[in-house]
Structure formats: structure tokens, C-alpha cells
Amino acid sequence: MGFDSFRGNPAAVRLLRMAANGRRTGHAYLFFGTEGTGKRTLAGIFAQALLCGGGEEKPCGRCLACRKFEKGVHPDYAVLRKPPDRAFLTVDQIRALREALYIRPNEADRRVVLIENCETMNAPAANALLKILEEPPSYAVFLLTASSQRAVPETILSRCIPVELFEVPLSEAERWLAEQFPSAGPEERRQALLYGGGNLGRSRAFLEDPAVRQGYERAAALAEALTSRREYDVLAALAPLEGDRGAFDRLLRDFDRILARVAVCAFAGTQDPEAEALARRISPLQAAALHEQAGAARTALSFNGNLALTAAAFGAGLRSVMERG
């Protein structure tokens, strides 16, 4: 996988391509952007390019280093992430990394370390990483990912070259979906495109993960029932969530994205019949008020609010918006 395979984000790609193919490479890069915008993918291509031993254009995809990288066995590349059963990426992991880093590279000119979701580091881990970043071995390059710059301690941020990733234009996402999922039907791809809204990871998840699709269908059913004033169906859409915080949060996010699609239809010609149908049944003001209700419920969930109460308050809030007309 070379830089050409990465979609959208031309400024970020240009910056990294020049860094990998020239002599001026920084010691640390922070890839940040919404989940699904390709931070890990692009960091991986950059890492491969930094280790590549061949070709005019790195990564060449053919040299021994590239082949080892693609098999996941390059000795000078390490990935650090929070263990699934832990709350944080810990200081022990950073200490182990530091020891490994002081051994010179085995095969390449560099050692490359990818630290995924660095906002999951606790304070001792972040301090330990900062010490390494203050005086890194000359051959080390750190690639960090995070959902936003704000999630990263200022002291670490100031030592990183920022690489921000964005959603891609819909036309580009449409082409990408056709290439990546040729066996999906056109209707399925259309749904995935609208669900992702230019976020390729989100579109991919829609096609590959049945739970994502199911969650979206529940949010769509809620929007449909609400705007059609089918009270019983609104309750039915909310009922299963009272025991499942994660599913509730996903529903709120999906519901909010559907409202965003409705808002877009109000002033632009779209090819989004689902959203257009909803837009005919509610006013832009109602859509905005529903969006506020979803935001309030997500805030309550993030502060660990009682699940059943939050669901009840959300249901009552939706009802009052619809009654206001």
C-alpha cells in the first residue's frame, strides 16, 4: 500500500510523502481526526515508507523491508496500544518501549514506533513518553494518533508535527466504495455512503459490521416513528436501550447524524431520499431541537447518568419537540 492508495487529504499526504522521500524527517508526528478518517492507515503507509530500502518513491512495496512490513514482521517497527482489558496505556508499556528503543535499528536506518490513540495514556505514561520525546535517539520516529489535538497533553503536542485528517468529498467516497466493495449491491453502497458522509472508516464499518448496520437501522426507525407521530414505535425503538449504555450512545450518535442529513436537505439538492422524506415531516427548527435533545442525552451518558432516567428524559424531550410543531 503506497501513498496513492490513500484517499483524500492531499495536504497531509504531500507532507508525509516529502518527509519520507527527502532527508528532513521529524522525530514525532501526531495524526489526529475523527474516528474513521484513516489515521492508522496513513501512519502505517508513512511508517512503511520510512523503513523502505528501495525505489525512487517510498514505500516501493517490493523491497525486503516493505515485504517484511506488510507481513507485520519488520524488526524496526513497533506498535503500542492500550491492552483491551486495561483502562489506560500504562507507564510500564512506555518503559519497555524506551529500553527497546536504545538498541540501534536492526535492518533499517530508523526505528519507527506507532502509538495508537495516545489519549489513552495515563499521566505517568504521558510523562515517560515526554522524557523520550525530549531527547529521542537520532534514529527514532514516533507516530502518534489521537481523536483531536485537545486530547493530547500540550507538552507532547508541542514536540509533534501535526497531521490532521478530514472526511473526503462524497464523490471520492463513492468511488472508493465501488472499488473496495464491488460485491455489495448499489443500494447497499448508497446507504453506506450516506451513513459515512465522507468518513471512509464509518462507511466500511456499515458494510462489514452487522452491529453497526443494526444500530443505524434502529436510529432510522426512531426518526421515522417520531416524525410520523407513531408514539408506540418511538417507545419500542428506545426500550431495548435501557440496559445498554454503549448501544444507547451509538443510537444517539446515529440519530444525530440522520438529523444532520435532514438539515443538509433543507438547503441543498441531495440524493438522500430517506432524509428528504423526514425533512418533509419536520421543520428545520424541530430538527435542531431534536439535535439538542440527542446532545443532552449524550452529555448525561458521558457523565455516567442513570441509563433508564436518561432514556426516559430523552423520550419525553423528543415528544415535547414534536408536540410544539
Residues in contact with Zn ion by CB under 5 A are: 52, 54, 59-60, 63, 66
Residue nearer to Zn ion on the CB measure, 54 or 317: 54
Shortest Å distance, C-beta 49 to Zn ion: 8
Residue nearer to Zn ion on the CB measure, 5 or 158: 5
Question: How is residue 123 written as a grid cell?
Answer: 499521566
Shortest Å distance, C-beta 249 to Zn ion: 42
**32-51 burial by CB neighbour count: b if 16+ within 10 A, else e?**
bbeebbbbbbbbbbbbbbbb
Shortest Å distance, C-beta 247 to Zn ion: 44
Shortest Å distance, C-beta 56 to Zn ion: 11
DSSP state of 118: G
Distance CA 266, CA 109 (A): 55
ω into 162 cis (within 30 of 0): no
Residue nearer to Zn ion on the CB measure, 25 or 286: 25
Distance CA 318, CA 313 (A): 9
Shortest Å distance, C-beta 34 to Zn ion: 30
Residue nearer to Zn ion on the CB measure, 5 or 299: 5
Handedness of CA 98, 103, 104, 110 (dihedral sign): negative
Residue 142 makes CB contacts below 8 A (sequence gap 6+) with 27, 28, 29, 113, 115, 132, 133, 136, 160
Residue nearer to Zn ion on the CB measure, 54 or 153: 54
